[in-house]
Amino acid sequence: MSLAVCLLFDRRGESALRRLWAALEAQGIRSLASHTHGRHHPHISYAVLLDWDLEAVRDRLGRLPDGGPFELRFHGVVAFPRGRACLVPAVTSEVMQRQEAVSEAVVGTGATLHRHYRRGDWVPHCSLSPRATGALLP
């Protein structure tokens, strides 16, 4: 099991992404709506931790400034090599700095950060289908 620090969407964004999940499910493509426990929320992960001290992580993240809401636009779809179809957003340097601050903060607690969330390795994405290959993108 892992722990993620995520960016969540406002009601409008969450609703739009849930409609997209439903459309995929209607086509027989499993989405995050039915993946594992079925309680996923549309999100973009800033950090995924493999090992952590929850209280230390909460404390350190609680010290980060709240950058406030921002607009996010998706500009493409990608399939990661091991089979995960995702929307890819255009992000500003401010969003990249937020992700780096989160990843540095959690590493500062002694947590083990998944390699794809380290500085310079993060690919911002919003998962649609956790087991989809590139052949399913159309």
Q: What is the predicted pLDDT for the residue at 39?
A: 80
Q: What is the predicted pLDDT for the residue at 133?
A: 74
- pLDDT tier, 9 (very low <50, low <70, confident <90, very high otherwise): very high
**Mind giving me the DSSP string for 69-102?**
----EEEEEEEETTTEEEEEEE--HHHHHHHHHH
Q: Across-strand partners of 80? A: 84
> Residues in the chain, how many?
138
CA–CA dist 44, 132 (Å, integer): 18
pTM: 0.90
What are the tens digits of pLDDT across the range 76-111? 988 888 888 999 999 999 999 999 999 999 999 999
CB 137 within 8 A of CB 79: yes
Q: What is the predicted pLDDT for the residue at 10?
A: 96
Q: Return the domain boundaries, the chain.
A: 3-69+93-123
* Residue 38 pLDDT > 80: no
